[in-house]
Structure 1
């Protein structure tokens, strides 16, 4: 059975030493009292919950899966899931970063993200049930009416009810402009919703008394395409004026998808047959409201892959230290054993270091971006809020696509460390591979994320957000450019950062002549941007580690030396991928599009 140890030391290193979040929180009135002791206590307890309550259900939940009862369309989750969720609610974890006006604890979003990294490491399928509720909460918090907020937000905040996002239909995935679900206005101001949705994560389950579905649908005579989409709140059970549950709404699970992974999560087909719903936000402006939920979900999906990378690496490292196989090429290392542990072999170390570099680099990206979200929502200076909002918008597709791509690669490498034992269920490694694969697909495939990044977030604002990111990188380059101890990190980072403005301008000019140039270059462009951002944070972590070691008597010397060794590996062996991607993105669209004979 896999093991899991929460990476508390690494989270503390990032939040307290690299980012100095206590000082930044002091500038935010809502979080002024969140100090180091508070953060440490929350993370420690969150780690205990993940290890003691959620992680033991991962293997068994995958093997058992969810069961649908055809008689009443109800869904039963794997054994122990419901009880674990009750403990989650009882412990107040659902309310951690929610608004205190609705019963939340009002703590920083970055702490909630750390909680969810640990839950995803412990059991991604289980973590998706409460995780999706946060997106529904955010959408209602921003766009819900006063009545909707009063009636529904306290229950979402406490975790007593969960939420879903109902977007996809059988004939359309990413292209939501094609959706057919309809909404008919009623005399009392409500709407009757009719249609069919698929791939709805946590769409039906037995863990809560009610499920709040956020459903995209069309009003009569709505404009065609995405401009004619509205968002509706459709509860599983109608809610009476006094908050009690009323009649069963005709929205139900018509089937469960038979999936490659995340078996413990109910991925439902949803049939809606005249269900009562209420409009969220403005008519025909549904995507605007839904994108609040989708962007939160995209960061959540990146966090899922981060969690899987971390736990896969931990188990691969432990196995490599224990598994005996052959002798070291440079001479016997374990003379008292019949063979050396496989960690002595260079290629095994390559796989382990790759996993460690992407896992810890990804954690830095996630924690830093989550801190930007906290400042975007709470900083007293409007200029700071706007600047951070632009940065978060730029970083969201990068984190979603880059971390899920690398997350899948890492789980495969960690499975490879186990050899044949990685292919069987008991070790848990093959489950991590299967679970990680969905993260590259849902909440917008990674190709869509790449188009969003290059087409909308970079070229769409004439590179303003990209320039702001470039200034951040340039500041570090100027600060450490003459420091020889930082040369391994700063020189390649500075070189790539210097290329990006010219590359982006080049792609923009090509796109004016042929829009397919954006599509042809987008995936490579996102990968390069992913390395630029991760490279920046690995350089910052190396900077922090060097300063700590320079102080002399360092109690945690091995930790800091490990950071520096991993940073050097990342820049020498992984960061060069960016150079290859720069070359391939410049090959142009003709190489792809003038291929009718090849694809005949």
Structure 2
């Protein structure tokens, strides 16, 4: 009862028109040979793999889950074969550098691939999702011998990395971790300690598992300033198994086909990545990519929920609708998509999903520009905007993914609560994305305190300048976007002032501020979409959907921004403490 087809037409609209990516690529030497036909070919092949190979394994993987026995983990039936097909298709190499065996394509195309993977089979995609971030981390910080040894293995798919941060006493507060690393005479380190909630910590997709582990050196400073990053392979170069053991797997609410492992390091051999006691700085290269990918998980869930709810609503007949389109004959019962409540739900699903796609792909496009733009000033500005957008994409998209999946389940009524219809799996799978890779509350604090207040508002002003460029181009919604930008400026000035006498204030409003910026980004996405679609409509009636989406957004969803502004204004009163 569950299906997924990649929304290739909307993806093309975002790449070709909304981002104007082919024109931007032509100005970047690294992507000078990448054009629209090549990009579309990549997306079409990714769509075939996602819908043809991964989607059929989604429900069965959920039913079977993973199995642990004596330190070994077996993934659901078909997962290992799907991974071999993934490797043979060259997908791990998509956005990696040619010097390491990669295809050298933009991260933007990788973002589109990730959306398809997560929409079709979130649990399976957990095994591959961290690979590109780990590749970037090692590329930036690993010693040259380690780069030569392990980067080609990641690019080929022979090795799959993990991120080992969490310990029983150290979740969001990584400064509390206790895992130890003892230096050896040969320049290696011996790691001892336990990690838990490690996605893909053990599995049967490939024997090459590379653990990126946060640990403390002897006499390291307390807190986050005393954390170092280490590479610990499952197997050493001589074939021996390293002293890393999977002690068990978690039985979870969702993504049951993803092995979430507890690992013990008992003097495991590892190598230092980056500088001693600066492991978090090295890891942040990986985290930016990881958080963008988690945001794309939210987008994938929203898109899959929309597709399945829309299909069901066209087939399910209940009662007579109070109105129906002209030319549709009366019937004892109408498809429920004629009922206003269902139309509102379906329009919200479609409109938010398409807006999230534009913003998520923009984040990936900014990462490409931050790395490859010719001028240093352009690279720095792109990096600032990407840094500002990343926590919003991660938190706002995953929040919407979960709540839209819930709204889609409501379209199914009682059947939605039954596993046969699979929308309940989408709801269960989507919930974790709001928690891992930095909970959404931490993302909100990062956005307001670090990316806005500590930055002095520079990156936010650059974002508002982008909004102003769009309003200057005209369009039906330029005035509303301009008014929202003005409200943001006034609000942020007030936040700066209030924070001077109330240090807790930004923490109280951080969640509302992140959601406000999320709705503002969607307003920008839809104002731009409407303007571009209006110019293209004469040659293709498909663009009417974009104009309808913009009308719905600014009529029904735009008021969400006023709600968040009101909540921020009333939060000037301090919170009481619970007894």
Q: TM-score, normalised by structure 2?
A: 0.98
Secondary structure of 1:461 counterpart = coil
Flag the 1:80–1:4 CA change in 2: closer, same or farther, 3 A: same
Q: What's the counterpart of residue 298 of structure 2? A: 305
Q: Give the aligned partner of residue 256 of structure 1.
A: 249
- SS of the residue corresponding to residue 300 of structure 1 reads helix
Offset of residue 490 of structure 1 = 2.1
Between the aligned partners of 1:295 and 1:330, the Cα distance in structure 2 is 48
> Given that residues 334 and 340 in structure 1 are in contact (C-alpha distance below 8 angstroms), is that contact kept between their aligned partners in structure 2?
no
Structure 1, unaligned stretches of length 5 or more? Answer: 241-245
CA distance in 2 between counterparts of 1:572 and 1:123 reads 34
* 2:119–2:301 CA contact under 8 A, matched in 1: yes
Match of 1:61 in 2: 61
Is 1:206 aligned to residue 201 of structure 2?
no
How far is the alpha carbon of 1:250 from its aligned partner? 1.1
Unaligned 5+ runs, structure 2: none
Could you report, residue by residue, the CA deviation over 1:454-480 in whole angstroms, capped at 9, with x for unpaired residues?
Answer: 000000110000010011111111221
Query: Could you report, residue by residue, the CA deviation over 1:74-100 in whole angstroms, capped at 9, with x for unpaired residues?
Result: 100000000000000011011011111
Matched with 2:480 is 492
* Separation in 1, partners of 2:183, 2:409: 53
Give the secondary structure class of the aligned counterpart of 1:316.
Answer: helix
Could you report, residue by residue, the CA deviation over 1:440-498 in whole angstroms, capped at 9, with x for unpaired residues?
11111111000000000000110000010011111111221xx5xx1xx2222211110
Counterpart in 2 of 1:576? 559
Corresponding residue of 1:465: 459
SS in 1 for 2:211: strand
**Distance in structure 2 (CA, Å) of the matches to 1:518 and 1:137:** 35
1:126-205 paired onto structure 2 within 5 Å:
126-205=124-203
Aligned equivalents of 1:94 and 1:76: distance in 2? 22
CA deviation after TM superposition for structure 1 residue 116, in Å: 1.0
Q: 2:402 maps to what in 1?
A: 408
Over residues 395-422 of structure 1, what are the superposed CA-to-partner deviations in whole Å (9 max), with x where a residue is unaligned?
A: 0001001111111111001111011111
Distance in 2, matches of 1:532 and 1:286, equals 34
- Structure 1 residue aligned with 2:494, among 493, 503, 506? 506
- Judge conservation of contact 1:191–1:277 (CA < 8 Å) in 2: yes
Question: How much does 1:107 deviate?
Answer: 0.7
How far apart in 2 are the matches of 1:229 and 1:337? 68
Report how many aligned residue pairs link the two structures: 578
What SS does the aligned partner of 1:129 have?
Answer: helix
List per-residue Cα deviations over 1:231-281 (Å, max 9, x = no partner): 0000111124xxxxx211111211111111000100111111110010000
Provide the alpha-carbon RMSD of the alignment. 1.3
Matched residue, 1:107? 105
| Cross-structure match for 1:243 | none
User: Counterparts of 2:161 and 2:526 in 1: how far apart (Å)?
Assistant: 36
Paired position in structure 1 for 2:442: 448
Measure the CA separation in 2 of the matches of 1:117 and 1:238: 34
- Relative to 1, partners in 2 of residues 1:589 and 1:66: Cα closer, same or farther, differing over 3 Å? farther
Question: For the Cα contact (< 8 Å) 1:313–1:355, is it kept in 2?
Answer: yes
Alpha-carbon separation, structure 2, partners of 1:47 and 1:205: 25
Tell me how far apart the structure 2 counterparts of residues 560 and 442 of structure 1 sit (CA, whole Å): 37
Deviation of 1:292 after TM superposition, in Å, equals 1.0
Task: Compare 540-549 and 323-332 and name the one that shifted more.
Answer: 323-332
TM-score of the aligned structures, taking structure 1 as reference length: 0.95
Q: Which residue of structure 1 aligns with residue 73 of structure 2?
A: 75
Cα distance in structure 1, aligned partners of 2:166 and 2:564: 32
CA-CA distance at 1:334 after TM superposition:
5.6
Offset at residue 133 of structure 1 (A): 1.4
Aligned to 2:28: 28
Distance 2:574 2:484 in 1: 25
CA distance in 2, matches of 1:4, 1:235: 35
Q: What secondary structure, in the 3-state scheme, does the structure 1 residue paired with 2:236 have?
A: strand
- SS of structure 2 residue aligned to 1:268: strand
Q: Answer with 133-142 or 80-89: which moved more.
A: 133-142
Cα deviation for residue 330 of structure 1 reads 3.1
Does the 8 A contact of 1:77 with 1:205 survive in 2?
A: yes
